[in-house]
Chain A
Amino acid sequence: MLNYFYRKLSLLFFITFGVTVFVFSLNFLFPTDVLSNMSGIPNIGEEDYAALAEQYYLNNSVIIQYFAFIGRIWQGDWGVSFITGTSIYSQVFRVLPATIELAIYALLYSFIVAIPLGILASSETYPWLDKSILALSIIGFSMPIFWLALLLILVFSIGLGWFPTSGRLSLIYNIPSSSGFLLFDIIRSNVDYKVEAFFDALRHLALPTFVLAAYPTTVLIRTTRQSMKDVMNTSYVKAAKAKGLTSGQLLRRHGLRNGLLPVIQMLGMHFGTVITLAMVTEVIFAWPGVGSWLVDAIHQRDYPAIQGGLLVISGMVFIATILFDLLYMIFDPIARIRGHGKI
């Protein structure tokens, strides 16, 4: 168990190395001046240049520059934005919780919806149910989410007026930010309009969560359906059935545990896609997350910000992948003995 954890951590180390090398090399690849990219100061005058070059070890070899870069990242000195001139580190970590919040709720939602539907679809007693669930999932699978998002806004926000079109919270509520996760912040705050603010936040969450969850839900439905079909056909489930277990016991003790293993794996694999989709969703719903922030940075050619966003998003994906792997290992005893260096 510990050994496995250590193996995963060492994998994380090497991936981090690769990503930091890539991000570091972007300093040289972006069209503006190297020193500007590193420091975030757009036009450096002649007099400051030498001092800054000294500070960023620009006169030393690339390797020393790289380690200096790592040191700066470690200390939280990620440079300043070309546009606003504020620290990128504080900007990124201010917008990151919104994205994490959205992604977690979307995954949770898709998990809660997709697993029962997948199990229902896998049952051989109701073939019509299987067909209709599959058809639904095909529709969800093939519909581009920006279009789905616009349709939903058109119907539920503009047409029916049930949900707000954009943002995280109505402007009339002022919630002091402590953790950045809005729902927790609201619960922990001491304002009078706590309940109203909470429900307002939920109403703001509803559409983006649904849009973002559409893709993982359909993938999970199909994975769950297939793997439950496979598991319920294995000899051990049939043998357990012959022992006299009821259908519920069968599902709980043997079916789910084995059937959900590929689902956990799938969830881990698709986390990266979900983050990409989250960026699209954030832009459409004006959700103040790292995705829309990064898209803005790209539009404005804000190179230091692009580097910071890249670092944070890739780090998030790795950590999520490794977390899902650990989860997988907890459920599958065979995974614990598998060989080294497997992602």
Chain B
Amino acid sequence: MRLLDIRNLNIELITNDSRIKAVESANFSMRMAEVSGLIGESGSGKSLIAKALVGMLNNRWHVTADRLHFMGQDLNRMSETKRRKVISDNISMIYQEPRRCLDPTSNIFSQLEESLPDYEFSGWFGAKKELRIKKCIRLLHKVGIKDHEKVFNSYPHMLSEGICQKIMIAMAIAKEPKLLIADEPTTALESTTSLQVIKLLKSLNQLKEMGVIFITHNLVSITSWADSINVMYCGQLIESGLTKNIINAPKHPYTKALFDSEPDFNARDINNKQKLYALKGTIPTLQHLPIGCRLGPRCPNAQRACVKIPEQQKVKGQYFRCHYPLTDNWKKA
């Protein structure tokens, strides 16, 4: 059974005079307990997919999908309330801006406590409350906050960004979800805690069978851990496959460029003041998207056929959308 299976996901921004396709026909699937990396430049629509999944987009956004299956259930055919129930019970998300996702007027304890599921604790009222408090303390200890008493009584503005991020993580893992969407969870953290957090997510992934969508643009942190990688460019999911295949034999020119732009400081072939590799041009704005393959204007291999959006192809379990895929077995130097 697949944990998540999405076909042809479109996310459109409705403005006064036009509809902008912020995410165009993305296909995305995950096995149970898989760690899937979602990488791409900022503004490529990674967070948008995540927010669409948990239903955080307001009604200025129009989300459609041909197929939207979660653990064998067709979310498209459910009523709004049922879908929200399924999603909130099984999917949780670590948000990019932790401070803005915490209510400024209520203290941390009440916010952490309300993300615990209702059904888990039995007993009479007082005992239940006590159990919930204990669980909250355990959660905070798990994410590396030792001074739980003080944090419980604090308001978000009194805490640092890093601690807020940890609290978000504690809230996200509170109900032991089947799928955790981590939207750049470690950007606000110092490197030691960021390692701790990744370790924690890893252990949850292995012990509790929790699937993880890891959204990042830090290639190093993802390649060591993720089972599969999905690469996005400008709202199009251009390539996805197993991590080692993507690293060793990317089919799409953009994937290759992405990995090329990460300088390899271990190799000795970087000279003094050598220019680092970068793809020419910048990511286009949403108002001026190129037709067809959106990488077209920047792509080193672009030809006339690229003005049509390429169909998704599959070679050895690797999906990609490119008219002229890289064929030679390119190895990372």
Given contacts A242-B93, A243-B171, whether A254 and B59 have CB atoms under 8 Å apart is no
Say whether B88 faces chain A, with CB atoms less than 8 Å apart.
yes
Contact A242 B87 (CB under 8 A): yes
Contact of A261 among B58, B84, B105, B155 (CB under 8 A): B105
- Proximity bits, A216-248, B CB within 8 Å = 1, else 0: 000000000000000001111111111111000
How many angstroms from the CA of A237 to the CA of B105 in the assembled complex? 12
- Proximity bits, B101-114, A CB within 8 Å = 1, else 0: 11111100011001
Of the four ranges (under 10, 10 to 19, 20 to 34, 35 or more), the interface on chain A belongs to 20 to 34
How many angstroms from the CA of A239 to the CA of B59 in the assembled complex? 15
Q: Would you list which residues of chain B between 90 and 105 have a CB under 8 Å from chain A?
A: 92-93, 95, 97, 100-105
Contact of A235 among B95, B105, B114, B171 (CB under 8 A): B95
CB < 8 Å A-B pair total: 71
Q: Would you list which residues of chain B between 163 and 188 have a CB under 8 Å from chain A?
A: 171
Q: What is the CB-to-nearest-CB distance from B57 to chain A, in angstroms, rounded to a whole number?
A: 8
User: Which residues of A have CB within 8 Å of B157?
Assistant: 333-334, 337
Contact A244 B88 (CB under 8 A): yes
Q: What is the CB-to-nearest-CB distance from B105 to chain A, in angstroms, rounded to a whole number?
A: 5
User: Which residues of A have CB within 8 Å of B106?
Assistant: 253-254, 257
User: Which residues of A have CB within 8 Å of B110?
Assistant: 253
Of the four ranges (under 10, 10 to 19, 20 to 34, 35 or more), the interface on chain B belongs to 20 to 34
User: Which residues of A have CB within 8 Å of B111?
Assistant: 240
Contact B105 A331 (CB under 8 A): yes
How many angstroms from the CA of A236 to the CA of B95 in the assembled complex? 10
User: Which residues of A have CB within 8 Å of B101?
Assistant: 235-236, 238-239
Contact of B55 among A241, A249, A254 (CB under 8 A): A241
Say whether B115 faces chain A, with CB atoms less than 8 Å apart.
yes
How many angstroms from the CA of A249 to the CA of B113 in the assembled complex? 13
How many angstroms from the CA of A163 to the CA of B56 in the assembled complex? 51
Contacts from B to A (Cβ < 8 Å): 54-56, 58-59, 84-85, 87-89, 92-93, 95, 97, 100-106, 110-111, 114-115, 155, 157, 171
Contacts from A to B (Cβ < 8 Å): 124, 233-245, 249, 253-254, 257-258, 261, 331-334, 337
Across the A-B interface, give the 8 residue pairs with the lowest CB-CB distance, nearest first: A244-B88, A239-B101, A333-B155, A242-B54, A235-B100, A238-B56, A236-B103, A235-B101
Q: Can you spell out 30 A-B residue pairs with CB atoms less than 8 angstroms apart? A: A235-B56, A235-B95, A235-B97, A235-B101, A236-B101, A238-B56, A238-B58, A239-B56, A239-B93, A239-B101, A240-B114, A241-B55, A241-B56, A242-B92, A243-B88, A243-B92, A243-B171, A244-B84, A244-B85, A249-B114, A253-B110, A254-B103, A254-B106, A257-B103, A257-B105, A258-B105, A332-B104, A332-B105, A333-B155, A334-B105
